[in-house]
Amino acid sequence: MDFSTPARAQRFLPEVSAFVRDELQPVELDVLRDGFTASAGRLRALRDKVKAMGYWAPHMPEELGGMQLGLVDHALMSEALGHSVLGHYVFGCPAPDAGNMEILHKFGSEAQKERWLAPLVAGEMRSCFSMTEPEHAGSNPTRMSCSARREGDHYVINGHKWFTTAADGSDFAIVMAVTDPQGDAYRQASMIIVPTNTPGFDLVRNIPIMGDAGEAWASHGEIQYRDVRVPVDNLLGQEHAAFAIAQERLGPGRIHHCMRWLGICERALDMMCRRAAERDMGEGKPLASKQIVQAWIAESRAAINASRLSVLQAAWKIENEGFYAAREEISLIKFFVAEVMMKVIDRAIQVHGALGITSDTILSWYYAHERGSRIYDGPDEVHKMVVARRMLKAYAKGGGK
């Protein structure tokens, strides 16, 4: 077993981490307060710096202008970027664009790649992914009302979606819609590219998350599709193959997310330690002298280290044995790391006292906006079920390990 950081990551991590610390952390509260639209100029300048440094779009092939990192290297990059809310955005790999780039690259036609993928990778366009519907349990996406009816050379899409992240200001959506209602449950839906300026595409609102609706990239849209007419050429991949494509999107996505969450954990733990060491509780004794705070710090450290090893092992297994072989590990890290992150953020807030729930530090933003980590890409309970069922298989009918 080799636990050393891969050679390529050893080269880029110090510079990337320094950039996140020196250029992104100092401005992120301003950007969140002013909004991504008002901060467009500032963000563009930061993106230009990243491009000049050669760290743009780490997950994309070099011929498209990316770094072409393998999954383990990208996992380590993702953790470093996770130390700022702006990290993935400024380095050209934010969700949901990153996942959309991956499926466009893998399943897109040459024309689709030219029209949508190239400008998306270049950061000249933004995109969103429109699957979940308010009327149906998103945990079971085989149940979907949004339909795409074939009329000659066009699809006519009707449906109601929500939690379409970053829809506000996006140039196009990749929409999941039923094209074969009589088909097998996992062969009913297709993925279709819909330019957001198509008549009938209606962004109803940005959904408030714990009171904050956000805007632009930092938002989650509710969308009505009313007789949205797009050419059949906008079909992504094969007809009725949306589920297979969605699985491709989720595999690496969970590694990216988990490592981003570890970046958040490290930041919150750093803030926790700093505050505990500085906060004078009287008679010259810092908060850090309290045993309960020491226990939180040590327990956080242990949980973060365990999480990192688990995620990197899952990434290694995907790279070496494929997604199918690693599906138990992927489910395991998805619920485990999300829970660890929420606990570490909560402890960091507690150590900061009242300051922790203000918008004067990043902690309250994390607390509100990262809570969704336990729900999206499969809620905790579904992943726990997947892991336990696979484990229990061996014990069925009196068997065992």
Ligand X SMILES: Cc1cc2nc3c(=O)[nH]c(=O)nc-3n(C[C@H](O)[C@H](O)[C@H](O)COP(=O)(O)OP(=O)(O)OC[C@H]3O[C@@H](n4cnc5c(N)ncnc54)[C@H](O)[C@@H]3O)c2cc1C
**Segment contacting ligand X (CB under 6 A): 106-114, 230-238, 268-276, 375-383?**
375-383
Q: Residue 184 contacts by C-beta under 8 Å, 6 or more apart in sequence?
A: none
Output 165 or 364, the one with its CB closest to ligand X.
165
**Segment contacting ligand X (CB under 6 A): 2-10, 103-111, 193-201, 369-377?**
369-377
Among 39, 127, 132, 234, binds ligand X (CB under 6 A): 132
DSSP 208: P
**Segment contacting ligand X (CB under 6 A): 158-166, 186-194, 250-258, 357-365?**
158-166
Distance between CA 247 and CA 323 in Å, rounded? 9
Residues 335, 383 contacting (CB under 8 angstroms): yes
Shortest separation between residue 375's beta carbon and ligand X, angstroms: 4
SS3 category, 375: coil
Is the sign of the CA dihedral 317, 20, 221, 349 positive or negative?
positive
Q: Is 122 in the site for ligand X (CB under 6 A)?
A: no
Shortest separation between residue 146's beta carbon and ligand X, angstroms: 10
Among 37, 139, 238, 289, binds ligand X (CB under 6 A): 139
Pull the structure tokens for residue 283: 């008679």
Residues 255, 75 contacting (CB under 8 angstroms): yes
Output 6 or 138, the one with its CB closest to ligand X.
138
**Segment contacting ligand X (CB under 6 A): 6-14, 52-60, 136-144, 265-273?**
136-144
Q: Is 381 in the site for ligand X (CB under 6 A)?
A: yes
Using CB under 6 A as the criterion, what x/- string covers residues 77-116 for binding ligand X?
-------------------x--------------------
SS3 category, 205: strand
Q: Is 169 in the site for ligand X (CB under 6 A)?
A: no
Q: Which residues within the stretch 204-233 sit at the binding site for ligand X (CB under 6 A)?
A: 220
**Segment contacting ligand X (CB under 6 A): 57-65, 116-124, 125-133, 269-277?**
125-133
Distance between CA 77 and CA 71 in Å, rounded? 10
Output 78 or 373, the one with its CB closest to ligand X.
373
Please name the residue ranges forming H helices in 130-183: none
**Which residue type occupies 269?**
L
For residue 96, say if its preceding peptide bond is cis, omega within 30 degrees of 0: yes
Q: Is 365 in the site for ligand X (CB under 6 A)?
A: no
Output 256 or 275, the one with its CB closest to ligand X.
256
Cβ neighbour number for residue 146 with a 10 Å cutoff: 22
Output 218 or 293, the one with its CB closest to ligand X.
218
Shortest separation between residue 129's beta carbon and ligand X, angstroms: 5
- Closest to 338 (Cα-Cα) out of 294, 384, 275: 384
**Segment contacting ligand X (CB under 6 A): 72-80, 86-94, 267-275, 374-382?**
374-382
Pull the structure tokens for residue 224: 């009505």
Q: Is 375 in the site for ligand X (CB under 6 A)?
A: yes
Pairing of strands 127-130, 172-178: parallel
Helix%, strand%, coil% for the chain, nearest 5? 55, 15, 30
* Interface with ligand X (CB under 6 A): 96, 129-132, 137-139, 163-165, 220, 372, 375-376, 379, 381-382, 385
